[in-house]
Structure 1
Amino acid sequence: MSERDWLLQFEDEQGLLQAVDRASELGLRVVDAYAPYPIEDLQERVRGPVTRTSWLIFLAGLLGALGGFALCTWSSVWAYPFQVGGTPLFSWPAYLPITFECGVLAAALTAFCSVFVQSGLPRYHHPLFDFEAFRTASHAGYFLQVLGDYEAARQLGGVLHAE
């Protein structure tokens, strides 16, 4: 049977936590867990995919800093050489503020854009909102979204909804 998303509904938080722990044993991948209030250790148990965002932001900051330094060097040495007060044309300490600011700007823009790309925003409607039972998720429902086959999802217990 092919893999698909399943939404499981539980009566209490203990059932939800036990299902999260058993999901990997049954070959299911936990997509997300929903509860009406924060549950201790739930986020640690629901391990999402590891993203490369921090490395991407670091690389963008480094490239932005190098680009700012290269722009300052190019403009003061080759494009518009102008000697002021006997200083050399390549006076690198004067380039440091621009280098720093370009690095911070590139890293911040990369972080901002990567949040939107990785979270799928803007998303105006989530498929989980189509379930009548999911309307209680904010005040009385405990839900677990898993990816896998039907038999493994049934073994977790709870009320099963297909997505």
Structure 2
Amino acid sequence: MDELFAPWRIDWVERDGDADGCPFCVLPDRDADRDSRIVARSEHAFCLLNNAPYNPGHAMVIPYRHTGVYGELTEAELLDLSRLTQRTLRAIEDGLGPDGANTGMNLGDSAGGSIDDHLHRHVVPRWNGDTNFMPVIDETQVIVEAIDDTYEHLHAAFADQEGTRVDDPDDAVRIV
């Protein structure tokens, strides 16, 4: 068995909230945006850093309302989800400077997502050469930056965007 030392994951394992509940419903209701890794909030959606990132800056844009069916989103939720995705891409570009990005959703049981009953859009920054020999030869993904450091970069990049406010540095950036 391969072992990978990841001490930052203990915060996720020991997090508050209902263990049987949907984390995408529980996390935004906590009073701890930074600890929950919620970087930005809009009216109908929020941006959360992925605790098991593919690359540094791997974020998810998630509607507050619990649904796994894309067709159930209202027009306001769809527009807000898209706008927050656009702002997330801009924050990733400004804060991390990748060469590109992947975005997408895993919809339904067979699509491969680990949480299929609360839809979410992945936003993954990509760099030329970010796939190296480790995943190919050793089936090991190397993440080159701590999630807390990534949070700081993206929080600052969101805060620099027009139409945002930060009430408290430990809170998510508010999209107004």
Find the structure with the greater CA-based Rg: 1
TM over 0.5: no
Report the TM range for the smaller structure's normalisation: under 0.3
TM-score (norm 1): 0.26
